[in-house]
């Protein structure tokens, strides 16, 4: 019974996330019209969210935008240093 309750909570959270994303997409042309015109409202919303806000996004050098949101991979404690 507890698992079903948790599954319903996850579904509810996902629905809330979709509602928030749709709301943000609708407001993106007012919040960041230039970014929205270049990459579209959905991608602009995700970029701003990944950067931590529109001010933070504006401070990121253009060359670093392409790696925004990528996660650094950990090699299970193995060293990444080369000999």
**Of 9-13, 39-43, 47-51, 78-82, minimum mean pLDDT range:** 78-82
Q: What is the pLDDT of residue 12?
A: 95
Q: What is the pTM of this model?
A: 0.60
Whether 14 maps to a domain, the answer reads yes
Residue 79, domain member (yes or no): no
Does residue 68 contact residue 56 with C-beta atoms inside 8 Å? no
Tokens found for residue 21? 């994303």
Range of the domain at 50: 2-67
Q: Is residue 32 part of a domain?
A: yes
DSSP string, 66-78: GGTTPPPP--TT-
pLDDT computed for residue 72 by the predictor: 60
- Residue at 50 is within a domain: yes
- Does residue 30 come out as left (phi exceeding 0), alpha (psi in the -120 to 50 range) or beta? alpha
Q: What are phi and psi of 70, to 5 degrees?
A: -70, 145
Q: Give the number of domains in the chain.
A: 1
List, for residues 22-63, the tens digit of each pLDDT value. Answer: 888 888 888 889 989 999 988 888 888 888 888 999 999 988
């Amino acid at each position: 019974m507890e698992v079903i309750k948790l599954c319903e909570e996850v579904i509810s959270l996902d629905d809330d996330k979709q509602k928030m994303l749709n709301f943000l997409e609708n407001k993106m042309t007012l919040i960041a019209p230039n970014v929205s015109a270049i990459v579209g409202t959905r991608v602009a919303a995700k970029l701003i969210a990944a950067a931590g806000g529109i001010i933070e996004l504006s401070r990121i050098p253009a060359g670093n935008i392409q790696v925004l949101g990528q996660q650094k991979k950990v090699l299970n404690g193995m060293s990444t240093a080369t000999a």
